[in-house]
Chain A
């Protein structure tokens, strides 16, 4: 009925899915709201992943109360490096990577951090500093070392794959890479770039920086066209495995390749963004049709 009001009738045949259609046709019918916490809460996500032996970063500790911080720390400090995350943080906010330097001091982003500061950081996380005031949990886990494959494309930061699954089938994928301007972050919003993925061949296609397409990474000039992705079969397998164990049928699954352990699930997303269509130069409706053929 509203199409009569909207002037762009001619584009009706477009295969692109907009926010309205994503919400109404993909999220609402496929992802029951009561199950959102399974994806939004990283601790719950990992519990399920561990339960089904789906590869993901090893959990060192989960801290629920301030009084448990010291006990958990006693258990964790034997590791050389770890990631401290809020269970309910959003948009990658509040993630801190700490590692021991040669003098056995803890450092984060190249600066020394005292144990006291680490405790304060955890306490703030529990108090809900990164999750809009509600009580939160701290997740301490193994720090994943990116596979050398990524370093060829761009040497810094943590790149990851995003695989969209619908009804437990992979629809579309992309590789997100940091750039000189993205401060180590791989997010498209934060000036990272997206690299399209040919789902059938398991190769990279083109680079998209939010405005233009390239056949190479804008900083390293590494040409990505037709470069095969290592572990592609495993990436698809663990995506499908993950999609099967969650009662959520439309997911954005984030995967990182560890240099030793191979593909690992980082987190899952119930409201995956639509920019992936731009990165792959393909509308989601098109890929839904292709997948269901």
Chain B
């Protein structure tokens, strides 16, 4: 009895300490709450080097600005002092920076730094588009490289628009046509017509052709320029296309197959068929974009140092140390939460699952594969392996060798599916390998045993309950703030132990038992 009281006091103390420690951090965090919630943060540097000419020399470059899906901050012009820097708004609302120098035949470094915070954005396109207003008429006109009124463009556009029911289908047809043109790393300028002729193009050819086809059919469209941000130094910029749909510019990247979708790491810099950099002709010029991904917590307006100083009790140092990849750290932190959730579902609700932590692990896999296709694959794998193992059950094999057969079948199925997926370019089939094979095998084996012992009805019932638990786990684990919260508040891990202890002593009736023992309650 004595040790029990001691344990109680210890647990209470731990709870109080954890809650106090959390409490100290709550206020600064609320003060710094950021409703922008970026998915990715990068520090970007334009690094240009040039030797000025015999006359005054100018380098111009577009500069990004904030919009609803990207936030640009901390802009710093660190170029050498002989360069005079001005920026102004030019056509299409673009911002252009200009660096001038009167010094002749001298070497210059130009450095422009800013922080990019980006969100991925998926757009829903209506079936029918509104008529475009007069001010957008210029986005229907042909240009030198976007020959939207050329006969061949017209024929192609006409063909693609045939047998379509609505505007959305037309855009989809154009997009699919351009996506299916083989990609090639062509650096030179490719106009819309050349893209048709060569039937090969890089981003600029594809974008121009897409815009030309759209314009030909009466949809206002334009080229959009920027950089795909990665944790590296690069020299390639990127262009994609935008179509004006009901007063909103919707992005379409026909090179990377993003239909009405912009990933979080796309830095938007300018609109229109322009060049990112222009300079006085004939000078020696070299450039690179220096890009570095920055650790961040999506809901905090704080930089790395500020988060570090928030409290000594936080896992931010682990994140900054970079020894554990961020995804792995997230996974690790979410595991106890998922476990607690399953414990709750099993002991308080009374859900029966195949395997204790299977729902958590499957939920993790679903984060990679996507929910619907993931669930379907999970169910079909379990059913398939369960069914294939059924004859082996009947033969009367010993348990462990039988499990090996199931495992082998499981691995075989996964590999075959991945190969089919690769061969026919079916993306969701290739994600099968994200599933935790061994656990899935044991679940399949249990399923096949349950069909023998308790009948199909019970086995399928249990499978459905496993799915239910998986769905609930997925719902909680897919909440993007959760890992960040655990990084700032590692005390929660302690609280999980406390909650699990309470759960472990819970003697109440399980929710499903209210149903089971219903006759006794009335």
Contacts and interface: CB of A to CB of B under 8 A. Distances in A.
Contact of B509 (A1, A18, A129, A281): A18
B515 to A, nearest CB: 11
Contacts, number: 74
A132 B399 contact: yes
A2 B502 contact: yes
A74 interface: no
B513 interface: yes
Interface string A1-43: 1110110100100111011110011000000000000000000
A207 B502 CA distance: 38
Contacts of B399: 128-129, 132-133
A2 B399 CA distance: 40
Residue from the set B347, B506, B511, B514 with the largest chain A CB neighbour count within 10 Å? B506
B347 A16 contact: no
A75 to B, nearest CB: 26
A213 interface: yes
Given A6-B508, A14-B521, A19 B502 contact: no
A129 B350 CA distance: 30
A127 B398 contact: yes
A16 B502 contact: no
B120 to A, nearest CB: 36
A189 interface: yes
Interface in B475-506: 502-503, 505-506
B306 interface: no
Contact of B503 (A2, A129, A283): A2
Main SS at interface, chain B: helix
A18 B400 contact: no
A2 B519 contact: no
B347 A277 contact: no
A76 interface: no
Given A24-B507, A127-B398, A277 B517 contact: yes
Residue from the set A2, A11, A19, A20 with the largest chain B CB neighbour count within 10 Å? A20
A277 B510 contact: no
B72 to A, nearest CB: 46
A110 interface: no
A1 B507 CA distance: 11
Contacts of B348: 2, 5-6
A61 interface: no
A1 B506 CA distance: 9
A35 B514 CA distance: 32
A88 to B, nearest CB: 13
Nearest to A3: B508
B454 interface: yes
B514 A8 contact: yes
Interface in B210-268: none
B506 A2 contact: yes
A213 B519 contact: yes
Contacts of A91: 453
A213 B519 CA distance: 10
B124 interface: no
Interface residues of A, number: 32
B396 interface: yes
B520 A278 contact: yes
A11 B507 contact: no
A162 to B, nearest CB: 17
Contact of A11 (B350, B454, B502, B521): B521
B448 to A, nearest CB: 14
A20 B504 CA distance: 9
B519 to A, nearest CB: 6
Nearest to B518: A278
Contacts of B513: 16, 18-19
A26 B400 CA distance: 34
Contacts of A124: 396
Contact of A16 (B350, B505, B520): B520
B508 A1 contact: no
A244 B398 CA distance: 38
A93 B521 CA distance: 34
Interface string A212-226: 010000000000000
Residue from the set B348, B513, B517 with the largest chain A CB neighbour count within 10 Å? B517
B520 A128 contact: no
B503 A18 contact: no
A24 to B, nearest CB: 5
A277 B520 contact: yes
Nearest to B458: A189
A19 B514 CA distance: 12
Contact of B514 (A3, A11, A132, A282): A11
A3 B516 CA distance: 20
A222 B396 CA distance: 40
B507 A25 contact: yes
Contact of A2 (B454, B508, B516, B517): B508
Contact of B454 (A14, A189, A274, A277): A189
B488 to A, nearest CB: 25
A6 B348 CA distance: 9
B519 A278 contact: yes
Nearest to B452: A93
B8 to A, nearest CB: 11
A20 B520 contact: no
Nearest to B403: A133
A278 B510 contact: no
Given A2-B503, A278-B519, A283-B520, A20 B510 contact: yes
A57 B227 CA distance: 83
Contacts of B502: 1-2
Contacts of A5: 348
Nearest to A7: B511
Nearest to B397: A129
Interface in A239-283: 274, 277-278, 281-283
A129 B399 CA distance: 7
A21 B520 contact: no
Contacts of B396: 124, 129
A21 B514 contact: no
A133 to B, nearest CB: 4
The 10 closest A-B pairs by CB, nearest first: A133-B399, A21-B507, A18-B509, A18-B513, A16-B517, A133-B400, A24-B507, A20-B507, A16-B520, A2-B506
Given A15-B520, A128-B398, 15 more contacts: A2-B506, A5-B348, A8-B511, A14-B520, A16-B509, A20-B509, A21-B507, A24-B505, A24-B507, A25-B507, A128-B399, A132-B399, A133-B398, A274-B517, A281-B519
Interface of A: 1-3, 5-6, 8, 11, 14-16, 18-21, 24-25, 91, 93, 124, 127-129, 132-133, 189, 213, 274, 277-278, 281-283
20 contacts: A2-B503, A2-B506, A8-B509, A8-B511, A8-B514, A11-B514, A11-B521, A14-B520, A16-B517, A18-B508, A19-B350, A21-B508, A129-B396, A132-B399, A133-B399, A213-B519, A277-B520, A278-B517, A278-B520, A281-B519
Interface of B: 347-348, 350, 396, 398-400, 453-454, 502-503, 505-511, 513-514, 516-517, 519-521
